[in-house]
Every structure is written in C-alpha cells, then in structure tokens.
Amino acid sequence: KEGHSLAQLEILCKQLYETTETGVRLQAEKALVEFTNSPDCLSKCQLLLERGSSSYSQLLAATCLSKLVSRTSNPLPLEQRIDIRNYVLNYLATRPKLAEFVTQALIQLYSRITKLGWFDCQKDDYVFRNVIADVTRFLQDSVEHCIIGVTILSQLTNEINQLNLCLCVQADTSHPLTKHRKIASSFRDSSLFDIFTLSCNLLKQVSILAFWVIFLAEPYFSDPTSCASTSAAVLVFQSLSDPNNYHEFCRLLARLKSNYQLGELVKVENYPEVIRLIANFTVTSLQHWEFAPNSVHYLLSLWQRLAASVPYVKATEPHLLETYTPEVTKAYITSRLESVCIILRDGLEDPLDDAGLVQQQLDQLSTIGRCEYEKTCALLVQLFDQSAQTYQELLQSTNSSTIDITVQEGRLTWLVYIIGAVIGGRVSFASTDEQDAMDGELVCRVLQLMNLTDSRLAQAGNERLELAMLSFFEQFRKIYIGDQVQKSSKVSTFTVTTHTLLCFRPETITNLKYWGQCEPITSKTLQLLNDLSIGYPLPSVRKLVKLSAVQFMLNNHTSEHFSFLGVNNQSNLSDMRCRTTFYTALGRLLMVDLGEDEDQFEQFMLPLTAAFEAVAQMFSTNTFNEQEAKRTLVGLVRDLRGIAFAFNAKTSFMMLFDWIYPAYMPILQRAIELWYHVPACTTPVLKLMAELVHNRSQRLQFDVSSPNGILLFRETSKMITTYGNRILTIGEVPKDQVYSVKLKGVSVCFSMLKAVLSGNYVNFGVFRLYGDDALDNALQTFIKLLLSIPHSDLLDYPKLSQSFYSLLEVLTQDHMNFIASLEPHVVMYILSSISEGLTALDTMVCTGCCSSLDHIVTYLFKQLSRSTKKRPAAMATDDRFLLIMQQHPEMIQQMLSTVLNIIIFEDCRNQWSMSRPLLGLILLNEKYFADLRNSIVNSQPPEKQQAMHLCFENLMEGIERNLLTKNRDRFTQNLSVFRREVNDSMKNSSYGVNSNDMMS
C-alpha cells in the first residue's frame, strides 16, 4: 500500500509538470493539494526523497515541506523542524548532482526553516544559527558541493531580506513586518559579516585560479593548433566551451575594478602579460559574438572600470591600457557591424531589438572608447564614411536590392548609436579642445546622414535608424547643452553652431509628422523636445523659440500637421499619454515670450477651445458618438495637463485658469458623471484637476477680493464627491483589476484633496460660517472611500500609500476637529492605518505617519491639559474623541511600543521624525512607558541592566511635562544619545533575541 501510494504520487507529479492536457493537470494539482493537507504528508515527503524515482517527486517533497514549516496554523514542533533541517543538509551533501530545480527547492526549504526558527532556543542554544558551520563542510568538498554551499549563502541572505506573512505565527501578532525586521537585524549583526568575509575569501581564491586559467590558455590565443600539446589548456577550453562556464568566467573578470586589483592577484612583474592575455581573451570573445552573448556585459564591464581608472593613475608602472583599450573598442565596433549581414542572412535574433541590452553595452563602451579617443574617432570616421557612401550609392542606383540597403542601414544604426555613446562619455575635466573637435567631426557626419534619411521619409523609413538618431541627440544634449559646457571659445562656437543645426532641427517636426503612428519614436522625440524646453540655460531656450520650426509648432499644433494628436487614430485611450509631454514642452516654449499677452495665449489655445466646444456640443445632445467623445475629451485633458504643468508662474497660470473656469468646468464634471466606471477616461480628468489645484511655485494667488479660491475648491469638492460616490457603486472588483479600476482614481482624488487643502488659497472657515457644505462633502467622501479600502491595500500600492498618508498629515494638522468628530470605528481605522504605516518600508510613508501621529497626540495632550485646568467645557466632538482614546488605550500604547522598537532595534532612517510623537506618547502613557522600560531593563543580562536603566534615565533627563518646542527639541537630542548608548550597551548581548516581542 505504501509503495502504491508513492507510485501514485509520482504519477501525479508527472501529470502536473509534464502533461499538456489542462484537465489532467488540474486533476493532478487538486489531488496534490489534498496530499499537502493530509496528516501523513511529512512522512510521505521523506519517503519521496528517499525512494522517489523522478526529480519531480523530489521537487514535490521539497515544496510540501516548505509549506509545512511555513504554515500559520498547527506549526511543526521545534524538534521536528531541527530534524528536517539536518535531513536536508545531509541530503544535499550526499546527492550533489540533483536536478538544479530540486537543489534550489531544498535550499529554499533550508533557508525558510532557518529564518523562521532564528529566535528558537534549545537548551540555551540558538539551534538555527549555525549557518557558517553548515556551509563550511560544503565549501571544503568537491566543486559541486562548493556551488551548493555558495547557493545556500546567497539564498539564505535573500530569504532573510524578504517579508514572509508566515512570520505572524511565530510572533503571535498581526505585525509580521516588525518580526521580519528583528530577524533581519539580528542576522545582520550576528552572521552577515562572517558570510561576507567567507565570500570574499572564496572570490579571491577563485580569482587567482582564474588567472592561472588565462595563463594556461595562452596557446589558444597565440596559436590555436598548439592547444593539443598543452593538456591543461585543452581542459580549460573544454570547460569554457560550456556557455554556462564561459558566462561565469566573464562575470569573474567583471568583478575586477582596476589594474591595482590585477596586481594584487598576480605578481606585479607578470601584470603586462596578464593584461595582454585578458585583452586577447576579450577581443576573441567579442569577435565570436554569436556565442554566449550575455557575457559581453561582463567583459565590457571590466574594461570600463579599467579605462575609468586611467585619469587617476599616479603610479610609475605602465598600465598598458592605451595599447589594449583601442583593440577592445575596435573588436566591439567591427563585430557589431559584421553581425548585421549574418543576422539578416540566417534570420537570427537581432540585438538591436533589445533596447535595454544595447543601451547597457553602449554605456560601458562610452568610457572605453574615450580612452585613446583619437584612435576611436579615426576608426568611427573611416567606418562611417564607408557605410554612408555605400548607402548613398545604393539609394541612387535603380537596381539595388532591398537586402543590401537594409544591411547598410543596420550598420549605420550601430555606428550612430556608438557615436552617440562615445560623445556621451565625455568627461569635462579630462577633455581637450582637440577631443571636442573630434566630437564635431562625428556630429557633422550624423547630421549629413540625417539629411539623407529625412529626404526618403515620404517613401520609406527605418525605425531602428531613427531611434539611433534620437539616442545620439539625447547624448549630445546632455553633454553640450547646459551649464556643464566649458567657456572656451572653441567649445562655445561648436555648441552654438551645432545647437542651431541639431537641437531643434527639422527632424523633430519630421519625426512627429511621418512617425506619428510609431510610439517609440514619437515618445522619444517628444521627450527630447521636453528636455530642451526645460529652460536652462535661458539663452539657449530663447534661441530655440526663435527657430522657425518651433514657431511652426506653436502656431500649428493640430492633427493636420501632427498625426498623433488625431482623435481617431489611436487603438486605445492610453495611447494618448505622449500628448501631455508634447504640451508640457510647448507650454514652456510659449512662456518664454508670453508675458502678459492674452491675445497670444488665446491664439495658442484655439485648437483646444475648438475641442472643448466639440465635446460640449456632443454632451448637449441625447445621442452622440460616445467613442469619439471619449477620445476627444481624453486627448484634450491630457493636453491641458501638460500646459498646466508648464505654466508655473502666476501670470500665465491665471490666463489658463480664467480660460477654463467657469466656461469648461461643467464639461469635466459631466465626463466624471458619465464615465466614472471607465478609468481610461476618468483618470486623465482627475489628474488634470489635481494639477489645476496644485499651488506650485505659488502660482495660485488670487486677489484679496476674489472668490476664485473658494469657487475652485467647490469645483474640486464636487468632482471628488461625484466620482467617489459613483465609484463606490461598482461592486466587487477582481484583485488583479482593483488598482486600475478603483484605487488609482481614489489615489488621485486623495492627491487632489491634499493639494487643495494645503494650497493656502482657501479660508476653510467660511464654509461652516455661511452654511456651505462643500468642505463637509469632500471630507465625508474621503472617509467613505477610505473605509472601502482594506488596510493591506493602503500599503501594497505605493502611489496610494503616499497620497493617503500625505493627505492624512494635512488633515491631522489643520482639520483635527473633523477627525475628532468621526465615529469610533472610523477613528480606529485611521489610527490602525497610522500604526501600520509606522513600520512601512517607504520612508516617506513612515515619516508622514509620524507627523500625523504627532498632531493627534498633541491634540489629545492639549485637550487633557485643558480638562485638568478646569477650562471651559470642550465641544461634544472633543469629548467623544477623548472617550474613544480612553476606551482603547491599547492603540496609543501599541504605537508607543512600535516607535520605541524601531528606534532601538532598527536602522532608523528618520529618527528626528520618530522623536516628535514619541514624547507625547510617553507623556500620555507614563505608567505603560515605565512598565515597558522595566521589562526592557530586566530582560538584559544582569551585568548590563544598570547600564540600560541609566540609558532610560538619561532619555528623560531635563524633560518637562509639556509639548513646547523647546522641550521637544531637548527630547530629540536626548533620544539621539539614548539610541547610541543603547546600541553600545546591547552589543554582544542576547537582548532582542529571546525577549518578549514588543509589538505583541
């Protein structure tokens, strides 16, 4: 029966991992889930590992064991987990040649057991902390065992750094993050340095061995036929013929950072031979580009670091890099050019399609190519002239083949990319006028090629070549346009000349005209335009605005001239994102000479006015083309958001405000009412509104007699209320869609409300004074939206976290009366969200929570102080808030424990922020703080208790029972000293390891 059960399990594993039939796989998965939950799962897993005949059964056993040791209910006893840990180590040691995925699963199991049991003791021994001893026996054995040992170290470090929800059961608390951090901190203090030291020693040994490998490989480079006479070299290159070995060998070379490290690993007198061999190895590898292409990164990384060290070398010994870097540069360039024809001929995967990989290699080449730059430049000029001449001749010939033209376009694409890279590698302090002149030679050639390709765009174009051009322009802009440009006459003349020719050449308009349907080219072109329009240095932008091409864009920004502005040519609404970038750039360029000229502004806005009128006309009828209305509106609000972002001065922004309000605001409100359930429509509208109410650079400053600030808030309140109440009616949303459908819009509403509440252009007291419910409506909608979001979602989505906690900070600072008036369950929800946010990994969220908590604690302290001084009775809402806090003292006490825990045990990156609410928390909970202090002191070893007690005494030294600024500042200073003294006291102490979890 037992054998039959194992056989059945192996069949199920085979069906799960190998079958292509969905039904069979689902049945197998269901049966294996039942097996995982069965009482005899543990014993069956051991039998599978011992007797299983397939790797899949071993994988199942390892996976099931990981689930067993991680489960949150009915956890395994300590002795059983120790047995599993020992069994896994012995299993790996006696079976070093398991399938890779089985080895990985078993190492994952070991890492999980070790982490979850990090604080477990057996007879005063922390039984899961013998990591170094566990791994050392692997490192002292065969190569296969060494690989397992290193993988264990790597996987364990990674596991310690990841948050596992199964930590909840270990901590008996709802705060797994705190438990995770305590484990990570303890692991860091007790084991990480030993692991680092062990790894460094291993790396050094392997590096020395690798250089002997290079020496043994010498015959291969000098005369491949002589390899047969050197048995060691034959073995070396048999090993390197395996792509994995070759790849790892290249990674090893990449770890070397300078020629000094080379000298440390080999005898100094052998350095010239070593660097020659490495250069030969690199050149040979680059020339055989089709083998192990991923290793190119590591080889170039080594030479990039070597070349980068040249300007700083002061030693008298020759580094020989001036000899070998040109060879490496030439090998890379020529091999890329030669690959073009082979890739087309054989239908291979083109590396130019992987933009990230190309950019990574070019970034490395940019440094290598600038070393002995005259040789690099001469090579590029020669190769570029040859390809460009051949390309031009092919274009002029009537019988040229398409393949030949495509090959030359591919070669020119690589050359344009590489020219941009080497120009981008210019370092100002190490550059000379001669090198800048070389840059000019290369730039002129690219410009000439640009003129040639532009003349063909009406008939045909090459997308890759256009993207290479844009990459080149971006590199040139970063180096030669801006405050980093040197003031020598040659550079200035060169910059002005090329700026006029290049930086806003007709290519920008040409690209937007002919490549409007190509998103990569359009977005990169617009990004380049946006970067050029930022406005520094101002004389460059003024020259830019005077160019006819720019004036044409400012006067003709319609779909007739720029197809990407069309309404009916996008496949979906999200394709319009680039329009915001376009109008941000146009808005900045318009502002250069706009001043107070309202006529010029109105002229510029004519296309957008027409679009608004078209949408208004559609909304005024009972039947209209909904798809066309959506596209028109979404495009329009994206355009307006770009303009609003660019107009950061009061004069220009007021023109925009007067243009949109009140005439067109009802259209935006109507769109929210109609399409609240379509995030592709509502999100752009909400983001536009959030931008309009953002008082960036104090641009929203209305006259003292103007009601516009209040009117703008009323429109904001109406939009938040309309969207919020409707989005709450859509019902349950699948987890994978909840952010896009609901939470993204809610996040924008939170940002919008925060911006308008903190904009300092609305007196919120007038709303209650005159019976206006706009403020109450906005705040109540915020509460409804908040209560519809689980706590976990508040922290799982970073943008939502930041918008919510920044809004909460404003509310607790300026609207505590509203917070105090809320129902008890709402108050508890808000306090719980603050408590959760205090332990967030995002420092911005954590800091915001500290500030919000400080405002709440200060408010409570003042209310209590007033009641003890027999001041006039507070409002009923204040009494309610105090009553809630008195009924649930554990909430404030919990946050006191949390803050103190972070300050004592963790790498607190915002100590000042943490200190501000801590004093109020202590003053509100003096007895609890005293108990907490005594618990901490008593948990220390007897010889350290007095020192810890003194730390707490010094913390409150000179602190009065008030929250005045002077008293707070003194406490913050004391806390800084306290943290340092506690850390010193706890060194070599077991505290924080076996003590009660302060979070529970």
| Residues facing 122 on adjacent strands | 125
Report the distance separating Cα 542 and Cα 718, nearest Å: 41
CB 221 within 8 A of CB 277: yes
- Residue 288 CB neighbour total at 10 angstroms: 11
Helix H or strand E encompassing 838 = none
CB 186 within 8 A of CB 118: yes
- Residue 311 confidence (pLDDT): 67
Convert the pLDDT of each residue in 107-125 to its tens digit: 888 888 888 888 888 777 8
Work out the pLDDT band at 638, boundaries 50, 70, 90. Answer: very high
| Tokens coding 477 | 């802009």
How far are the Cα atoms of 250, 291, 471 from residue 244, in angstroms, in the given order?
10, 11, 33
Helix H or strand E encompassing 907 = none
Helix H or strand E encompassing 258 = none
| Tokens coding 969 | 């500042």
Convert the pLDDT of each residue in 805-858 to its tens digit: 999 999 999 999 899 899 999 999 999 999 888 888 788 888 999 999 999 999
| Tokens coding 323 | 């000899």
- Residue 136 CB neighbour total at 10 angstroms: 13
Q: What b/e readout covers 962-973, taking b as 16+ CB neighbours within 10 angstroms?
A: ebeeebbebbbe
| Tokens coding 253 | 């070379």
**What mean pLDDT comes out for the span 759-766?**
91
Report the distance separating Cα 511 and Cα 530, nearest Å: 15
CB 998 within 8 A of CB 172: no
| Tokens coding 663 | 């005439």
Helix H or strand E encompassing 122 = strand 121-122
Convert the pLDDT of each residue in 912-925 to its tens digit: 888 889 999 999 88
- Residue 1 confidence (pLDDT): 36
Phi/psi of residue 126, nearest 5 degrees: -80, 95
Domain ranges of the chain: 1-167+174-206, 802-867+878-986
| Tokens coding 777 | 């409506």
Burial class (CB in 10 A: 0-12, 13-18, 19+), 890: exposed
Convert the pLDDT of each residue in 485-536 to its tens digit: 544 434 444 444 444 444 445 556 666 766 666 777 777 888 878 887 775 5
Which residue intervals of 95-142 are DSSP H helices?
100-116, 131-139
Closest CA to 545 of 509, 582, 500, 583: 500
Convert the pLDDT of each residue in 647-685 to its tens digit: 999 999 999 999 999 999 999 999 999 999 999 999 999
**What mean pLDDT comes out for the span 5-20?**
73
Enumerate residues 6+ apart whose C-beta is below 8 A from 275: 259, 262, 319, 320, 321, 324
HSE at residue 349, side-chain half, CA atoms within 13 A, is 9
Whether the CA torsion 742, 745, 751, 757 is positive or negative: it is: negative
Q: What angle do CA 146, 152, 153 make, to 5 degrees?
A: 95
320: left (phi over 0), alpha (psi -120 to 50) or beta: left
Phi/psi of residue 234, nearest 5 degrees: -60, -45
Q: Is 168 helix (H, G, I), strand (E, B) or coil?
A: helix
Work out the pLDDT band at 30, boundaries 50, 70, 90. Answer: confident
Convert the pLDDT of each residue in 86-110 to its tens digit: 888 888 888 888 888 888 888 888 8
When the pLDDT of each residue in the chain is averaged and rounded to a whole number, the result is: 80
Report the distance separating Cα 126 and Cα 994, nearest Å: 10
Work out the pLDDT band at 879, boundaries 50, 70, 90. Answer: low
Instruction: Label each residue of 298-330 as H, E or C.
Output: HHHHHHHHHHHCHHHCCCCCCCCHHHHHHHHHH
Stretch among 7-11, 230-234, 797-801 having the lowest mean pLDDT: 230-234
Q: Is 121 helix (H, G, I), strand (E, B) or coil?
A: strand
Report the distance separating Cα 187 and Cα 339, nearest Å: 49
Q: pLDDT exceeding 90 applies to what percent of the chain? A: 26
Report the distance separating Cα 830 and Cα 753, nearest Å: 17
How far are the Cα atoms of 277, 311, 325, 370, 944 from residue 316, in angstroms, in the given order?
22, 13, 19, 22, 55
Work out the pLDDT band at 869, boundaries 50, 70, 90. Answer: low
Report the distance separating Cα 834 and Cα 840, nearest Å: 10
Helix H or strand E encompassing 968 = helix 965-986
CB 834 within 8 A of CB 852: yes
CB 547 within 8 A of CB 504: yes
Closest CA to 343 of 424, 390, 410: 410
How many helices (H) does the chain have, and how many strands (E)?
A: 51, 2
- Residue 550 confidence (pLDDT): 83
**What mean pLDDT comes out for the span 158-176?**
56
In the predicted structure, residue 465 carries a pLDDT above the cut 60 = yes
In the predicted structure, residue 875 carries a pLDDT above the cut 60 = no
Convert the pLDDT of each residue in 419-449 to its tens digit: 999 988 887 766 778 888 888 888 888 888 8
- Residue 332 confidence (pLDDT): 92
Please state whether the peptide bond connecting residue 219 to the residue before it is cis, i.e. omega within 30 degrees of 0: no
Scanning the structure block, which residue is given the tokens 């979404």?
634
Scanning the structure block, which residue is given the tokens 């949408």?
615
For residues 807, 813, 819, 820, the Cα torsion angle rounded to the nearest 10 degrees is: 170
Convert the pLDDT of each residue in 200-211 to its tens digit: 777 666 554 555
Q: Is 141 helix (H, G, I), strand (E, B) or coil?
A: coil
Q: What angle do CA 252, 258, 261 make, to 5 degrees?
A: 70
Enumerate residues 6+ apart whose C-beta is below 8 A from 92: 98, 103, 106, 107, 110, 138, 148
**Secondary structure (DSSP) of 685-712:** HHHHHHHHT--GGG-----TT--HHHHH
**What mean pLDDT comes out for the span 712-733?**
93
Burial class (CB in 10 A: 0-12, 13-18, 19+), 762: buried
Closest CA to 605 of 649, 647, 666, 544: 647
Q: Is 126 helix (H, G, I), strand (E, B) or coil?
A: strand
Convert the pLDDT of each residue in 342-382 to its tens digit: 888 888 888 888 888 888 899 989 889 888 889 999 999 99
Highest averaged pLDDT of the listed ranges 45-59, 178-192, 368-382, 528-542: 368-382
